Every structure is written in structure tokens, then in C-alpha cells.
Structure 1
Amino acid sequence: MASASPSAIERLPPGQHRYPDYGGNPLAHILSNVESERLPAFGGAFQPGLYKPPAFKFGNPVPLGLSGFALTTFVLNLINLGVRDITSPALVIAPALVYGGFIQLLAGMWDIALGNVFGGTALSTYGGFWISLAILLIPGGFGIEKSYASQGDFYAAFGLYIFGWMIVTIMFWLCTLRSTIFFSSLFCTVWLSFLCLGISYLDAQNNAEGLPNLAWQKAGGGLGIIAAFLAWYNMLAGLLDPGNSFFLVPVFHFPWSEKGRSDRMKAKQDGNGESV
């Protein structure tokens, strides 16, 4: 049999692929021979209910939305952590309006057009979150903060707003419990971050200065940073393929997921000497 061309994928029956050997790269060689690692991670296509996401008609918009979410989340939570003693959230307004907001909203609409209801709903929802947050933070723009009698009252109301986003994020998270570890962990850390930040802002009415609880705020900021890197990881899962990279990122399916059960069944059949 003729050897596979080093510059292209050999034509094989549907469901089978042979990728080129990238100059003896051991990681590429290992991953190229593991079927479960070649297929896209759930996070890369925001498809919690399917192992193989449907074919995209034009292109996968999810990595764009994930990137917008990740960067804006990263910037905001550096401020929540008080890095370099920066406490003003003004810097996050621009990315919240454009990259995390408008661009992520576009990605969500495109994903809905491609038939991915979960991905489109989640991306569009967080696009709306960032735009609404920017509106709240614009100094003097809508006078929302000034409409409250005291700073503590505004933070308490803001805490209730954050708890609303925590609830919807928990709903999204529940849809990911049969997918992959990195995909589910993204939503888990986001709602935990919202929980900590909501507690921090509600506690503003309980101290003399009328400011958020710093310990809870930093806990939420730390979880937010983790969420940002998980979003970037899932973005990478949607971008990397054997045509543009020497390696693919691991998927890590839950044992009870469709793929996890399939792998156990295959291992059992192999152990019994049956053909797969």
C-alpha cells in the first residue's frame, strides 16, 4: 500500500482519517493516532449534547465569542483582584461594549443561524451581560449609580443584578454535565465567581464605608481569572486542528458522557477479544 502523503490527509472511508506526520513530533504522532483526541471538544463548538458538532456551513463562530468573553473577563477580574492597586472598573467599559459585548453577541447570532441553540443562547446572553455591565459602569452616562440614595444601596442592588446572572449561568452549567471537564468547568467557575461577587456587593450595606466586602470580591476575581483561561482553552479546542498545529489540546470527557461510555464499551470488547 502506498504511504500517506506528508502534505495532505489521505482519503479513507467516512469516520476514518490519517493525518500527516509532522517531522517526528512525538506529541503530534500520539494525538494523530487517538480517535477521541482528533474530534473537536465540546467547548470548541459549544455543543453540550453532541460529541461531533454538526458541520458548519460557513465557519465556527464559537472561538470568536469565547475569545471575547475570555479577554473581557480577564480584564475585569484583574481589577476585582486589585492588581497593581487598580480599583476603577473604567478600563473594562471599552472591551465590554465591543469585544465581550457586541462581537460576542454577533457570534451568538451566527451560531443560532448554524443550528446550535445552546451555543447561540449562551454567547448571546453573555454578550448582553457585557453590554449591560458597560452601561452600568459608564460614568455619568445613564446616572444609574447616582439614582441610589447611597453608595451602599447601589452596591446592594448591583449584587442582586449579579445573582441574576449567577442563576442563568447555573442553568447553562447544568446543560454541560454530560460533556467534557473543561467545558463544564468553564460554566462552573463563572457561576461561582458570580456567587462570590454577589455576596461581596450585598455586604456593602453592612459596613460603615458602604463598600463591597474585599475578601469575597477577591475570591470572585480569582475564580473569574480561572474562568477566563478556561474560556481561552475551549477557544483553542475549537481552533486547533492537524492542518494548523503540531498538537491538539486534550478533551477529557466525563466517564458518564456519551464518549466516555463508548470508550468503556470499546475497552470491554477489546478485553474480550471481540472486534470493534
Structure 2
Amino acid sequence: MSSTTEERTARTAPDPAPAQSTPSFADPGPLGLAAFALTTFTLSLFNAGLAPEALEPLVLPLALFYGGLAQFLAGMWEFRKANTFGATAFASYGAFWLAFAAYVQFIEPEMEASGVTEAQVTTATGIFLLGWAIFTLYMLFASLRTTGALVGVFATLFLTFALLAAGDLTGVDAIATAGGFVGLLSALIAWYASAAVVTNATWGRTVLPVGPRS
């Protein structure tokens, strides 16, 4: 009798709830790197004196929507993937491009309209860039545990910020121009790192090595 009751109970008992699956997320790293690369490349063309200064406003939409918004979102997705380094880097540099666009579009003209001299505006820009050089320096040290490609990105980016800041703070245009050329190199390395992750993931094997260091 008890055996029959147990069998009947087993037949009528509800099935156990299925195990909760964790949703799969694509790697946001290539997006963040590509957004950084294109925006940095474009601005660096002007900083290096390779593009006419009159065309420089074309950097603003890139700074807002690709280098800024897309890279910031990549940082938020890196938070979801529990990648502290990627989240800090992409969210910060995305915010950098948004802040840069706002600074050029609103703050610089306002300072000039209020009687601030051109030399003082240049000094303010140098201070802005110096802060980012400091941030990039400690991110460079952190990147030593990632890949060789990322170390290359952060090393050249630190030099870019440092040279641009030094050029603005000292008033020596040649230093800022050198920063523009180093910025072009940083952008090219970032494009390579982005292409490597996309290509290797698509092909399912290492096609473009990035030099893993951890």
C-alpha cells in the first residue's frame, strides 16, 4: 500500500525547475577598441598637422557617438562580464571623448567670450590632458597583465597625452605635434587589437596574435 502511494506521488509530483542559465554576452572589447581607434586616429591627424585645421569639427560627431557613447557602452558591458580593467578603461575613455566634445563645443568658446586669453585657454587644455595622462599611466601598469597589444595601446596613449599636455602647458607646438604622431600609432595598435579579437573569435583560432601576458 505504501509502495503504491509512493509511486502515485512520484508520478504526480511536478518536475524540478530547470537550472537557471546565465545569458551569453559577446565580447565588448573589440567595439571599445575600434571606437577608441577611429576617434583617436581622426583627431591625431589634426594634432600632427596632417589634416587642414578648418576640417577639425568633423571630430565632434565621432567623439560624441563612437569614441564617446559606443565606448562608454562597451565599458558598461565589461562591468556585466566582471572585467574590472575593461570596464574602467572603456567607460573612462568613453567619458573622455564626451567631455572633450563638450569642452571644445561649449567651454572653450565660453572662456574666450568671457575674456580669457588664448594662452590661458591653452593652459586649461593642458591641465585637462595632464589628468588623463596620469590616469593612463596607472592603466598602463595594470595592462602589463593583459596582452602585448593592449600594453602597446596604453604605452603609446600615455605618451600621446603626456606630449599633448606638455605642448599646451609649455606653448611649444612641436611637442604637441609629436603627440599627434604618437596618437596615430596608438590608434593603429588599437585597431589591430580590435581586429585580432574579432578575427580570432570568428575563425575559432589564433589568426592575429595579441601576445597574452597573463
Say whether the fold is shared (TM-score over 0.5).
yes
Kindly state the Cα deviation for residue 181 of structure 1 after the two structures are TM-superposed: 2.2
Task: Percent identity, please.
Answer: 35
The aligned counterpart of 2:198 is: 239
Provide the residue aligned with 2:110 in structure 1.
143
CA offsets, 1:97-138, max 9 Å, x none? 110001110110011011111101100000000000000111
Given residue 191 of structure 2, which amino acid in structure 1 is its aligned partner?
W
Q: What letter matches 2:40 in structure 1?
A: T
- Residue 187 (structure 2) aligns with: 228
Q: Greater CA deviation, 171-180 or 239-248? A: 239-248
Partner of 1:61: 28
Which structure: greater helix fraction? 2
Where 1:138 maps in the other structure, the secondary structure is helix
Cα drift, residue 177 of structure 1: 1.7
Find the partner of 1:185 among 129, 147, 152.
152
Count of aligned residue pairs for this structure pair: 193
1:247 CA displacement:
6.7
Aligned position for 1:98: 65
Q: SS of 1:241's equivalent? A: helix
Name 2:75's counterpart in structure 1.
108
Map of 1:1-276 to 2, 5 A cutoff? 57-86=24-53, 89-138=56-105, 143-147=110-114, 149-204=116-171, 213-241=172-200, 243-244=202-203, 248-253=207-212, 257-258=213-214
Report the CA distance between 1:214 and its aligned residue.
2.0
- Relative to structure 1, is the Cα distance of residues 242 and 228 closer, same or farther in structure 2, using a 3 angstrom cutoff? closer
Q: Which runs of 5+ in 1 are unaligned?
A: 1-54, 205-212, 259-276
TM-score, scaled to structure 2:
0.82
Deviations 1:9-46 (A, max 9, x none): xxxxxxxxxxxxxxxxxxxxxxxxxxxxxxxxxxxxxx
SS of 1:249 mapped into structure 2: coil
Show structure 2 runs of 5+ residues with no match.
Answer: 1-21
- RMSD across aligned positions (CA): 2.3
